[in-house]
């Protein structure tokens, strides 16, 4: 397995890294001595020394002594009671997590303490200019770059979020500890803080007791944006802007951002019945809510900072208009409060003119608990902000938003903001005409009306909203929070105050939508598009520039404008994903209902003819009266939600397991149908445009046909014109690394992916259509993972032409983007790797013979892999016995099932648990199985010199071999053999021995091809990091074997299961990977 951050592991200062490991280890020891006692800690240390000694003996080639020491360690572990095993598992797991924190800290620290970073924007721009790329070409290529990083909820993040937060706090403390100016007293306090964090971690349950929902997963993704990416993106863009100015003489345009973000969290319904149409809609609204909330915070900061008086005439005029408009609005509101009304309960709230009575009825002053019966109030009870009052008909309507609302939502009126109405422009001030109502300071004292249970909850909420936004509804506490206003308030603050006002109303509108309550806001009162929000910000920017204050404009304000360009109004556009078979089932239901036959039984040509004809038709195909099965209804509901939200909120519609052109047209037809229905109901066009439809080719068979499918699609006139008209002439195609690897083995999958990309690019070029390749990479090498830079630089020539989409899954999201400094570095790496692949495309195979060699290796490798995994009837049983695969489901790390269908075979097992299980045993079989056989066969056929030349000259082949070598460096044959010896039945021991022999063969031929004498010879830093984890990692593997042995005899023992799950956590931390 590759470490998650090898992109930036150019080198770690091991002395300081080891110092931090010792510090954290000693502090954990201190905590454990207090928590579990000295005797237990002595036993723990004894086991660690045995593991370290065994490793040292094996490293020195003294195998027999190493085996004796390991047997002694196994014997010690077998004597542990259940409580002792549980505690030991926790102790080793936390040691490994703390080591990982120190490692991440030093990788981040290196990026901030080095004046010249390789692969940074400055470094790569300089190299390109020196190599002959003109400044104009460099500038234009960077400005046109379109990279989208798509965060997914794939279940590989094993740590609970609360522990992730604690780990981040420890990383921040380590960073603070590096400061040379810390006094002795400060350092002691810092150590105390570390002890507190470690104690808190020890006393926290490591295990998730409930499966997360899709909304929980989406919240975790939004947290990454809030805590890291929100800070990292402006920093990254400043670095990019500085490098561009340095090397081209021109800055990065404010509205240009080479990188954006997408998400599958709440949109990926492939094999996950928990992701429904309602979940998708709620997650989209939640993402918009979070974006607006973050913008409100930034605008508040800007208002405080922008105290300057000098401004342009345009800005001064706008500020004046805002004040006059507010003045008139307050006049109207004051008049409304003073007019008695007769409430008509049959009218909706927004058609009623008064919110409070001018005269209270008799008995209104009595408390609610009294039995007042002399009369009923004609007015309903208002729920005052900050009270717990609730009518029987209004039971906590905001309950489902309790985890969302995080800041005050009371709207602030301009009469308080601007005091007496003085407005500054340039170096002068002018007076806004102020009427008596505008300057009134007293608020009428209105006692609470009596309770009226007949008023609906939605009407009550509407009344409460109007009351909160009124002068009267303001509490004394809220007034105290407002700054004292003075004459001559700056125009910038007036304009930004208006921006905040609209943002607050936008946020409130989203809350009402989330609660499915009426929200008839005037569109002029809230922001709907990024351009609307950017307009006043750009006006402020231009004003500062025109007044000679460019240095101020290019600070926090430019950062905010660039955030708007990057994150828009939704932070991350949500992709939808569904399996092609589900669309075919839905079409079967429709065609049967219409007596047209069974769609899925038609041949491809008939399907295409039918779909094309219906796409050209202006009426909907699906009748509104149709009754279908729940699964089909969910598919149709998903398309309806896509029509309601549109391309402003959603990204692509990804079709997994795509294999034919009809798969794409089926989705286009459902989209067209839903949009016609929704627009008919709304009486206006649907928002945004149709979603891009993206076929995902995953199996080897489908990858080989990918180019033909795209050619067929583009040969259809309707589709080609649709792409040109609605998607700027761009076709997006996704290639899957996980299922292809599970299908054919890592080496064969890599070669088939390479050829498929070449063919798709050629197909699009034939029709003059631009292509964006979407890479569905996992975190582990077995699922297509690896260092980002290496992956992009080894793509086929022409496949990365300034555009790229790529997934970042599960644990990779936290590892690459969890800390702002790390995120900045990763964003730079994406930018520079795509830039290099565009202006200096990777080298293709030097000669056609090399492609023949690859075909030969791939064929042998695939046959070897499939003969073991799919054709050997004993393999499935061996897999279940030798790994903890069956127990992984108890981890509760994802909302989706581990299998697509309820079968026990490897075929329908998802790729993540397949890789995860083998990672736990340190055998990491999916990443190397078949590779040794393929390389051996090629060498025996006389291709050895070709292979060595390919390794030196062909980036794709070199990266493939290097990644497999990295995996082998983490594999551990003695540990894997121990799993077999204890857990595998006698009849299958021979299969395990044959697989270990195959691993040795793979190692041998990898070294032959690379020319290395030992594994990881070209990555000694990684080798040293792996070795540093082994004294804690090896014992926890042996402990897992012992717990599995006991659990399989007592599978209802919940404490044993907890102990096993903790060992799984610890091994994942030590391997720096799950699945």
**Six token digits for residue 459:** 């009407």
- Number of Cβ within 10 Å of residue 327's Cβ equals 19
Kindly name the residue from 94, 154, 583, 727 that is annotated as catalytic: 154
- The burial of 151, by beta-carbon neighbours within 10 Å (0-12 exposed, 13-18 middle, 19 or more buried), is given as buried
What are the tokens at 51?
């593991």
Q: What is the DSSP letter of 556?
A: I
SS3 20: helix
List CB contacts of 635: < 8 A, sequence separation 6 or more: 578, 582, 583, 585, 586, 670
- 742 in active site: yes
Angle between helix axes 14-36 and 38-59 (nearest 10 degrees) is 150
Q: Dig out the tokens for 564 from the structure.
A: 């708007």
Q: Which residues contact 831 (CB under 8 A, 6 or more apart)?
A: 121, 142, 145, 147, 240, 258, 259
Residue closest to 28 by CA, chosen among 18, 47, 41, 16: 41
Collapse the DSSP code of 629 into the 3-class scheme (helix H, G, I; strand E, B; otherwise coil) and give the result.
coil
Q: What are phi and psi of 736, to 5 degrees?
A: -100, 130
Q: For residues 475 and 473, what is the distance between their CA atoms, to the nearest angstrom?
A: 6
Tokens of 292: 């607006």
Q: Under 8 Å CB-to-CB from 356, ≥6 apart: which residues?
A: 337, 382, 446, 467, 472
Q: Please name the residue ranges forming H helices in 568-645.
A: 580-593, 604-616, 630-645
Q: Tell me if 753 sits within 8 A of 956, measured CB to CB.
A: no
Please state, as a whole number, how many other Cβ atoms lie within 10 Å of the Cβ of residue 168: 17
Q: How many CB atoms lie within 10 A of CB 20?
A: 20
Q: Distance from CA of residue 838 to its chain's centroid?
A: 26
The string over 722-759, giving b where at least 16 C-beta atoms fall within 10 Å of a residue's C-beta and e elsewhere, is bbeeebeeebbbbbbbbbbbbbbbbbbbbbbbbbbbbb
Residues 781 and 968: their CA atoms lie apart, in Å, by 11
C-alpha dihedral sign at 567, 569, 571, 573: negative
SS3 category, 735 = strand
Strand ranges (DSSP E) for 80-231? 146-152
Catalytic residue among 742, 755, 821, 970: 742
Helices 973-983 and 989-1010: angle between axes, nearest 10 degrees: 170
Tell me if 216 sits within 8 A of 100, measured CB to CB. no
Q: How far is it, in rounded angstroms, from Cα 162 to Cα 172? A: 16
Please give the torsion angle defined by the CA atoms of residues 1043, 1048, 1054 and 1057, in that order, rounded to the nearest 10 degrees. 40
Residue 887's CB is within 10 A of a number of other CB atoms, namely 20
Residues in the chain: 1075
Question: Is residue 796 left, alpha or beta, with left meaning phi > 0 and alpha meaning psi from -120 to 50?
Answer: beta
Whether the CB-CB separation of 700 and 749 falls below 8 Å is answered with yes
79 belongs to the catalytic site: no
Containing 733, the helix (H) or strand (E) segment is strand 730-736
C-alpha–C-alpha distance, residues 843 and 848, integer Å: 13
Q: How far apart are CA 855 and CA 937, in angstroms?
A: 12
Which residues are catalytically annotated? 154, 742
């Amino acid at each position: 397995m590759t470490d998650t951050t090898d992109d930036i592991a150019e080198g770690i200062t091991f002395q300081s890294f080891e110092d931090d490991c010792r510090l954290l280890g000693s502090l954990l020891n201190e905590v454990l001595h207090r928590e579990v006692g000295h005797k237990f800690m002595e036993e723990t240390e004894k086991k660690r020394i045995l593991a370290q000694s065994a490793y040292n003996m094996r490293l020195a080639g003294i195998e027999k002594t190493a085996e004796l020491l390991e047997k002694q360690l196994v014997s010690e572990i077998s004597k542990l009671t259940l409580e002792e095993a549980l505690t030991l598992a926790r102790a080793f797991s936390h040691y490994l997590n703390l080591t990982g924190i120190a490692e991440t800290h030093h990788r981040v620290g290196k990026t901030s303490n080095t004046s010249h970073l390789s692969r940074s924007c400055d470094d790569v721009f300089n190299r390109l200019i020196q190599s002959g790329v003109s400044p104009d070409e460099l500038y234009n290529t960077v400005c046109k770059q379109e990279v989208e990083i798509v965060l997914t909820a794939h279940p590989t993040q094993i740590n609970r979020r609360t522990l992730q937060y604690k780990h981040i706090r420890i990383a921040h403390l380590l960073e603070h500890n590096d400061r040379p100016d810390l006094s002795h007293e400060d350092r002691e306090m810092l150590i105390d803080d570390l002890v507190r964090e470690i104690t808190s971690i020890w006393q926290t349950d490591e295990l998730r007791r409930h499966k997360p929902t899709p909304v929980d997963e989406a919240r975790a993704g939004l947290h990454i944006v809030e805590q890291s990416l929100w800070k990292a993106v402006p920093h990254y863009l400043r670095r990019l802007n500085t490098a561009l100015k340095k090397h081209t003489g021109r800055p990065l345009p404010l509205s240009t951002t080479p990188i954006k973000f997408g998400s599958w969290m709440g949109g990926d319904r492939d094999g996950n019945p928990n992701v429904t149409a309602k979940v998708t809609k709620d997650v989209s609204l939640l993402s918009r809510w979070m974006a607006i909330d973050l913008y409100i915070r930034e605008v508040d900061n800007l208002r405080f900072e922008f105290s300057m008086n000098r401004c342009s005439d345009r800005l001064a005029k706008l500020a004046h208009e805002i004040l006059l408009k507010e003045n008139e609005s307050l006049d109207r509101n004051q008049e409304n409060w003073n007019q008695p009304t007769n409430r008509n309960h049959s009218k909706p709230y927004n058609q009623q003119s008064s919110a409070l009575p001018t005269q209270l009825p008799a008995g209104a002053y009595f408390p609610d608990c009294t039995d007042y019966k002399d009369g009923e109030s004609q007015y309903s009870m208002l729920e005052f902000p900050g009270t717990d009052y609730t009518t029987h008909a209004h039971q906590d309507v905001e309950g489902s938003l309790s985890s969302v609302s995080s800041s005050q939502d009371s709207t602030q009126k301009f009469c308080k903001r601007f005091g007496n109405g003085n407005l500054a422009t340039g170096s002068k001030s002018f007076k806004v005409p102020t009427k008596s109502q505008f300057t009134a300071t007293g608020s009428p004292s209105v006692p609470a009306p009596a309770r009226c249970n007949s008023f609906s909850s939605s009407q009550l909420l509407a009344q409460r909203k109007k009351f909160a936004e009124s002068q009267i509804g303001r509490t004394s506490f809220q007034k105290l929070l407002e700054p004292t206003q003075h004459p001559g308030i700056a125009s910038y603050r007036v304009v930004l105050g208006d921006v905040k006002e609209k943002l607050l109303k936008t946020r409130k509108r989203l809350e009402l939508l989330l609660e499915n309550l009426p929200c008839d806001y005037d569109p002029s009162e809230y922001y709907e598009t990024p351009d609307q929000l950017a307009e006043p910000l750009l006006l402020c920017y231009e004003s500062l520039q025109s007044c000679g204050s460019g240095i101020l404009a290019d600070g926090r304000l430019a950062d905010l404008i660039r955030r708007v360009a990057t994150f828009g109004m939704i932070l991350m556009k949500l992709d939808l994903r569904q399996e092609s078979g589900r669309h075919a089932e839905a079409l079967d239901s429709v065609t049967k209902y219409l007596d047209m036959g069974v769609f899925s039984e038609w041949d491809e040509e008939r399907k295409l003819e039918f779909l094309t004809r219906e796409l050209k038709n202006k009426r909907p195909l699906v009748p509104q009266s149709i009754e279908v099965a729940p699964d089909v209804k969910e598919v149709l509901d998903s398309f309806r939600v896509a029509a309601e939200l549109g391309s402003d909120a959603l990204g692509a519609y990804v079709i997994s397991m795509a294999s034919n052109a009809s798969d794409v047209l089926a989705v286009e037809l459902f989209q067209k149908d839903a949009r016609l229905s929704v627009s008919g109901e709304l009486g206006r066009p649907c928002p945004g445009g149709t979603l891009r439809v993206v076929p995902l080719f995953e199996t080897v068979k489908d990858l080989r046909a990918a180019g033909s499918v795209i050619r067929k699609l583009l040969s259809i006139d309707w589709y080609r014109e649709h792409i040109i008209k609605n998607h700027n002439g761009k076709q997006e195609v996704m290639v899957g690394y996980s299922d292809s690897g599970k299908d054919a083995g890592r080496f064969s999958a890599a070669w088939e992916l390479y050829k498929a990309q070449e063919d798709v690019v050629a197909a699009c070029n034939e029709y003059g259509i631009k292509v964006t390749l979407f890479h569905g990479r996992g975190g582990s090498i077995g699922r297509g993972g690896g260092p980002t830079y290496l992956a992009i630089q080894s793509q086929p020539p022409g496949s990365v032409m300034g555009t790229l989409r790529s997934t970042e899954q599960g644990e990779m999201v936290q590892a690459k983007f969890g800390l702002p400094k790390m995120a900045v570095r990763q964003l730079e790496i994406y930018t520079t790797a795509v830039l290099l692949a565009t202006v200096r495309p990777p080298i293709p195979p030097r000669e056609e013979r090399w492609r023949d060699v690859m075909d030969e290796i791939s064929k042998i490798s695939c046959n070897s892999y499939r003969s073991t995994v799919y054709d050997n009837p004993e393999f499935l049983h061996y897999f279940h016995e030798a790994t903890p695969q069956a127990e992984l489901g108890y981890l509760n790390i994802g909302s989706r099932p581990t299998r697509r269908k309820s079968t026990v075979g490897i075929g329908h097992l998802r790729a993540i648990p397949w890789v995860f299980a083998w990672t736990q045993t340190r055998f990491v079989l999916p990443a190397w199985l078949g590779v040794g056989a393929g390389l051996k066969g090629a060498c025996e056929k006389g291709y050895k010199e070709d292979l060595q030349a390919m390794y030196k000259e062909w980036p794709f082949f070199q990266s493939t071999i290097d990644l497999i070598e990295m995996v082998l460096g983490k594999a551990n044959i003695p540990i894997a053999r121990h799993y077999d010896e204890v857990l595998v039945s006698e009849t299958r021991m021979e299969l395990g021995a044959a697989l270990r022999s195959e691993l040795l063969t793979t190692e041998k031929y990898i070294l032959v091809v690379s020319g290395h004498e030992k594994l990881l010879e070209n990555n000694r830093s990684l080798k040293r990091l792996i070795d540093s984890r082994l004294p804690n990692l090896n014992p926890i593997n042996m402990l897992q074997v012992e717990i599995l042995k006991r659990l399989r005899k007592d599978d209802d023992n919940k404490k044993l299961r907890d102990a096993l799950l903790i060992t799984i956590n610890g091994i994942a931390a030590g391997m720096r990977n799950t699945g």
